[in-house]
Structure 1
Amino acid sequence: MTKKAGLTYRDAGVDIDAGDALVDDIKRIVRSTRRPEVLAGVGGFGALVGLPKKYRQPVLVSGTDGVGTKLMLGLETGLVEGLGQDLVAMCANDVLVSGAEPLFFLDYYATGKLDPHVAAQVIRGIARGCKQSGCALVGGETAEMPGMYPPGEFDLAGFCVAVVERSRIIDGRGIRRGDVLIALPSSGPHSNGYSLIRRILKLRKARLGKPFGRSTLAETLMTPTALYARPVLALLAAGVRVRGMAHITGGGLPGNLPRCFPKGVGAVIDTASWTRPEIFDWLQAQGDVDEEEMRRVFNCGIGYVVVVPRLEADAALAVLRKARAKPWLLGEITAGRQDVRYA
């Protein structure tokens, strides 16, 4: 009598072999992001990372984030690789605000049924973001959970740890009236406002494949989030007195810039100092979105802001231009409430 084969994990929807194969495939990708401080990474139960020797009193700065509902547009368009860079950027740009150097990154990729090809695309994007930020991809988790997610869907979360010298932590307390704001451009909506974007696309029955600028509407909306670590760290290394910084994410300038202000100061933004990228004008027109709402939801072309003393503005601009960051003077710090006004 032949014994009937029992159930396996694969029968339940989890393919251990596919997961193991994915880990083997991405090891080369992960190695390309390695830093000297990494002692052990992918493959173990935990990554081991030492602290860079140049720090006398190192302070660790941590951040975690996802990519929001941009993920859903990525699934719809099939443009998923850039989501990996988005994931790194949303974490690495945040920890950078304290003046910290991104050190290492971990990701969490969850899906109902693992598609190794799709997962590898996302991880390639994560590795690209890590290399651009100078941090090592030291590990992560790929979770296959049948029934938790609809077929073909997945979710992402990221975790970044950075390091800064205790005496050089930037917290905005030194900002004072007369300081100037220097803006660094965004690459598009980054990873914020996509619930509104998707609503606009649905209402207008927009064709994602239609030409838009030098690409398509889909490609424009899925442009990965810009990373600011290299130019900002170059600015800090140059000795310019950076008094405060802000990563412009959900909430736009009004919701993020005041987070680095001490009591008694606000900011005036020169609206004539930059031309808003076309995609934001298109979204505003198609959705009939009020200007105040645009500023509150989107970055409107500004991805990162640095606050420096007025006398050091030219030096800061020179360093940032040398780092190919395309900076410009955005406005100034004034006495008043911790808010943002436009002129």
Structure 2
Amino acid sequence: MIEANDITVEELETKAAELGVNLPIEQTAVWAGYQATIDGRTPWGAVELTQGGSTIALVSLIDYETHGYHYLRSNHAPVWAVEPCEELEGQAIDALAAHVHAKDKRQKFMRISIKAELASTTPVLSGIPYDHTVVIDVTGGDEEILSRMKPRGRRDVRKALRESPVTCADETELASKSFEEYYDVMRETGERDGFTPAPCSDYEDMIRILGPEHCRVYAGRLDGRVVTWSLVTINGTRAVRYYGASRNETMRQHVTDKLVYFECCDLGANQGCLDYDMMAIGSEFSPKLMGLNEFKTKFTKQVAEVAPDRDVPIHGLFYKALVTAKKLRDR
């Protein structure tokens, strides 16, 4: 039998350390503090799932309030202490859902990362989940990092190093003082790619609250002007390229290839990282993301499977009503 017990996020971090588990940044106390600054989001707490007295999974949850109702979200969790089979994953999710329902009747559903397509889950109501990503090994120094890329990746990076006119640097300190210059590039990227970026203050809060230990900003400049940048989160030995943006006019000059390679080298040499997650590529599960594959997959010969986000209805009738409303809106 699987039991679900409330713990603090700080206790979750301690238990993960004892188990030798490297937590995603979204499962940490510092992330919960950042989420608390965003309208409509409140840290809900953390849960330890145990079986026979042993920890099998950990999960930190954020309460999202939207359109007058509440749901819980947990990015890249449950974090497993054991490799779950489909049956164990199903039992754990059921135990977590029952625990949430007993504790907080407001919650209509959970959105969490679940590998198996369980009967208790549904596709997410909103967002684009993914089940594959690119993780770059950043150990061994500059040449080793380059040698592990696909031939196309090595060719593009070498060409960028020879010909790209940008100067790359870690600009975390500069970006923490003002993010406006970088945000202007994000606005241009959003117009090109068809999305609306979050307010500039969200990025500023993220950099300030996570701090330089957990958040770095890298940028490429041309004639002193930012033309490409990445916002990178770090927890333990893993870095994640959380956001990135680039100017239209320099896209064909391999400026982002040069920047990503610079980031890999710096993260491995100076930030204590072992790997760098480029976050999300397309697949049969998420065909809308296929446009990301050409750029991201050239930096490594392998792709990694991850558990995609799925919804777990807690109030079934209410959730069905949300699905119906979404279908009507989509029409």
TM-score (norm 1): 0.23
Give 1 or 2: higher helix fraction: 2
TM-score (norm 2): 0.24
* Greater C-alpha radius of gyration: 1
